[in-house]
């Protein structure tokens, strides 16, 4: 859209982050602002509604609305919605990383090397793919580790 430069083959350092961002909270804002400092161009790989239903059982804000919200952030150059199918067993963003091939894949406080040791973690395949493609992975991006949980915020909202 206004800062989407995918069509232009610029030689700028691209940083990718991924997440559901449902809803966006201060931890996400800090992640995006910090990730942008690693390069010239920040692309958000936004987990689609199918992914959210598979992981959390619900969608609070639709993927198109989340995309538009994220695109309004000054630090974000592009938002790419994942292609997860309904009941997709692969909850990784490997397909999108393969398509985008960023220089850096930045992960926030809730995604780290400890998380990747869990067999169920999508980070296992994402880290392996990044290593194979020469994509640098960075962890604990943003300040303060995991500050908020979108699921926790929605749960509090439901109680009101």
pLDDT in tens, 6-27: 544 567 999 999 999 999 988 8
Instruction: Give domain status of residue 93, yes or no.
Output: yes
* Separation between Cα atoms, residue 130 and residue 137, nearest integer Å: 7
**For the CA atoms of 45, 134, 107, 77, what is the dihedral angle to 10 degrees?**
-40
Instruction: Give domain status of residue 1, yes or no.
Output: no
* Separation between Cα atoms, residue 30 and residue 22, nearest integer Å: 15
In CATH, what number is assigned to the domain containing residue 145?
3.40.50.620
Instruction: Give domain status of residue 35, yes or no.
Output: yes
pLDDT tens-digit series, residues 65-105: 999 999 999 999 999 999 999 999 999 999 999 999 999 99
pLDDT tens-digit series, residues 122-143: 788 999 999 999 999 999 898 7
Domain that holds residue 155: 14-159
- 114, pLDDT greater than 70: no
Instruction: Give domain status of residue 4, yes or no.
Output: no
| Pairs from 113-119 (Cβ < 8 Å, separation ≥ 24) | 113/139
Which pLDDT score, from 0 to 100, does residue 69 have? 98
């Amino acid at each position: 859209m206004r800062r989407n430069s995918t069509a232009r083959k610029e030689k700028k350092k691209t940083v990718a982050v991924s997440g559901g961002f449902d809803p966006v909270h201060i931890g996400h804002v800090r992640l995006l602002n910090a990730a942008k400092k690693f390069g010239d161009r920040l692309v958000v790989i936004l987990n689609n509604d199918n992914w959210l239903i598979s992981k959390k059982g619900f969608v609070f804000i639709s993927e198109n609305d989340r995309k538009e919200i994220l695109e309004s952030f000054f630090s974000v150059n592009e938002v790419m919605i994942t292609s997860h199918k309904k009941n997709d067993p692969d909850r990784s963003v490997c397909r999108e990383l393969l398509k985008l091939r960023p220089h850096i894949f930045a992960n926030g406080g809730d995604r780290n090397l400890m998380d990747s040791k869990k067999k169920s973690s999508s980070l296992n395949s994402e880290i392996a793919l990044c290593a194979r493609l020469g994509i640098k992975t960075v962890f604990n991006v943003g300040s303060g580790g995991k500050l908020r949980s979108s699921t926790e915020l929605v749960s509090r909202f439901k109680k009101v």
